[in-house]
Amino acid sequence: MKKTKVLNSELSAVIASMGHTDTIAIGDAGLPIPDSSKRIDLAVKRNLPPFLDVLETVLCELEVEEVTISSEMIEDNPGLFKKINELFSSIKINLVTHSEFKEMTKNCKAVVRTGECMPYANIILHSGVAFSCEE
């Protein structure tokens, strides 16, 4: 059995396949997923699994250099906006309209659907590189 955090085989495979600047979206239960993107549906029931649990787990395995969120989150979900700013205090946070966000998901390697039922609980993670001189 795999020892690292991400146990879902589809999600683990997508993370392992990501290169520099590739993107993956994590969204709430209502985020539309384009047919052009791989759908990884983790939703079991309302609010299970929660958006933040999935995000924090993915961050254990994915090097992220910047993120994109909907500007509507600032007003309509200020608690989540604050948490996103805490999680990503040292990297660039791009703000786009929710319409632009949904359009951007068409180019994501995958869109992960959570059971989250808060408004605008969606994020696009832009993969960084984890080069190290150590072996």
Catalogue the active-site residues. Answer: 20
DSSP state of 31: -
Q: How far apart are CA 95 and CA 13, in angstroms?
A: 28
Other residues' Cβ atoms within 10 Å of the Cβ of residue 23: 21
Task: Kindly list the distances between the CA atom of residue 36 and the CA atoms of 26, 39, 43, 80, in Å, as whole numbers in the listed order.
Answer: 16, 9, 20, 28
Token readout for 119 is: 């408004």
Q: How far apart are CA 53 and CA 47, in angstroms?
A: 11
Q: How far apart are CA 36 and CA 110, in angstroms?
A: 9
